[in-house]
Chains A and B, each alone.
Chain A
């Protein structure tokens, strides 16, 4: 729990009108960890991600990346520092083929610095990346128009975009939602592989069984507040967490 954890969030607050979306949330993230963020719907998980990645400015509180403050910076600046995110509603470029979707993150300044690359090379890198996330290489799938891809593939595309950015921290907002058991089972190895590569991950999920298999630590949000944090099994024993998910006697 050092001052230069790869990500440090301090007392973030955000209200929209009268609604407290995120209230006094703090946590640390060490390199190589996989942190799960869980909680009932509306508990502020996506808002928290938006606050960290610069899409929403916090009312108060700070966010640090490797000791340097990144609160309120523009999303593209934060992405170039190595924090990538996926969207709950998969945001692909509908009219472009799937592999072309990856060219755009490959053009980011960060990737230029790490990899270089001219026109032509990026296409190959894009197709390799798609293979890594499970697009069959020799089929026509990588070349299909993104708008016509089925849901599972779109989610993989989102993941691939984060990987294309050569990010150190990848925040996945409900990656598993809408996927079948088989699809989730086929994605888990990819995430394991990211872990072994040393990437840090934050996963917001509703599907707890699958998440607990891979997460090191879990954090629970309810009504914008952090109500528990710790090992997956410990957290689920917590009374407050049970009440949040299952409700309580009135």
Chain B
């Protein structure tokens, strides 16, 4: 139970605001959730709505909006990836690095070796994640700010290299790549992976393994003094987190049948961070929530063109300063707790 003290101004009787967990929350703790339908529903409702809603949505939406849904899930995956890496204390300014490497790997395997998406997507995911982790390995020993700097700089340099040397298709990129069978497969594939990542990451962070990662973020010296090799765990976190982003890249390559310089575009860095910051970092649902909020919004505002990025940046800055917990945290609190004014003597 959390109590907040707030005095109402200018009156004789003073009140304080009190926040209490809802009864149903206490009743549905652990095994007691099975005691009746109400408790079970309390827990299942948010999760059920998410899963069922997402699975049903493609059947209801017109084709244009289905494609928007696909991109929303892609950005949501990137946001999940960012959130996971951030939970181990690493703040990346370069999700686009993981995205682009996954995209190019899948595209190159398809273009040069003619492997089908069936192979290129998993290989792009795994290969991209491993490659990026090894690339960033030396920076894990340094302060967090160096991690941000290096992840920021690397994709930008890679763009310029591809541009200048013309490898992997250079400025024009690789096109006419094999497509995914049809839109239905695309949509449900990305939705499935998104849900797996969402629930999977959450589950992982609830275990003792996740606790170690949280500890590393909280106080890495202490974790190190207790016998844990923090660099190894950080590398693992990076690997696990970046595979979601690499998958997104590999997927998009085959969805659009094209991979080129836009695969490393700053959009893929800014969007996930903006979504996570607005939704609320630290709970994967917040990141996903932010994505599902902001992406359709910008689609509606498509007319404004490049002002999009200005808007995102604005949101990002405003939220991280004024509302650092994000929107989702507020919603979660409302779901779990009630507030009331209580008279004090």
Contact = CB atoms under 8 A, between A and B. Distances in A.
Query: Do A and B touch, yes or no (CB under 8 Å, in the complex)?
Result: yes
A87 B222 contact: yes
Interface in B261-293: none
The B interface is mostly helix, strand or loop, or mixed, namely: helix
A165 B218 contact: no
A122 B209 CA distance: 12
B215 A104 contact: yes
Nearest to A109: B227
A76 B208 contact: no
Interface string A175-206: 00000000000000000000000000000000
Contacts of A110: 227
Nearest to B232: A76
A109 B212 CA distance: 13
Contact of B219 (A93, A106, A165): A93
A107 B212 contact: yes
Interface in A159-174: 161, 164-165
Interface residues of B, number: 19
B219 A91 contact: yes
Contacts of A105: 226-227
Contacts of B209: 107
A85 B226 CA distance: 8
Contacts of B230: 76
Contact of B227 (A55, A95, A108): A108
Given A93-B218, A93-B219, A96-B218, A119 B207 contact: yes
Given A74-B229, A76-B229, A96-B214, A107 B219 contact: no
A161 B208 contact: no
A96 B211 contact: yes
Interface string B190-212: 00000000000000000111011
B227 A103 contact: no
A80 interface: yes
B247 to A, nearest CB: 27
Contact of A104 (B207, B221, B223, B229): B223
Contacts of A165: 226-227
Contacts, number: 76
A47 to B, nearest CB: 15
A76 B211 contact: no
B43 interface: no
Interface in A77-105: 77, 79-80, 84-85, 87, 91-96, 100, 103-105
B36 interface: no
A85 B228 CA distance: 14
A46 interface: no
B332 interface: no
B226 A122 contact: no
A53 interface: yes
Interface residues of A, number: 32
Contacts of B207: 119
A119 B230 CA distance: 20
B222 A108 contact: no
Contact of B226 (A55, A77, A96, A104): A104
B222 A93 contact: yes
A108 B212 CA distance: 10
B211 A100 contact: yes
Contacts of A40: none
Contacts of A85: 225
A118 to B, nearest CB: 9
Contact of B208 (A75, A107, A109): A107
A111 interface: yes
Contacts of A92: 219, 222
B34 interface: no
Given A100-B211, A103-B211, A94 B225 contact: no
Contacts of B219: 91-94
Interface string A51-84: 0010100000000000000000011110110001
Nearest to A81: B227
A108 B228 contact: yes
Given A100-B211, A119-B207, A122-B208, A108 B226 contact: yes
Contacts of B135: none
A110 B230 CA distance: 15
A92 B215 CA distance: 9
Nearest to B206: A119
5 contacts: A75-B224, A76-B229, A94-B218, A96-B218, A107-B212
Interface of A: 53, 55, 74-77, 79-80, 84-85, 87, 91-96, 100, 103-111, 119, 122, 161, 164-165
4 smallest CB-CB distances across A and B, nearest first, come from: A108-B227, A79-B227, A105-B226, A91-B222
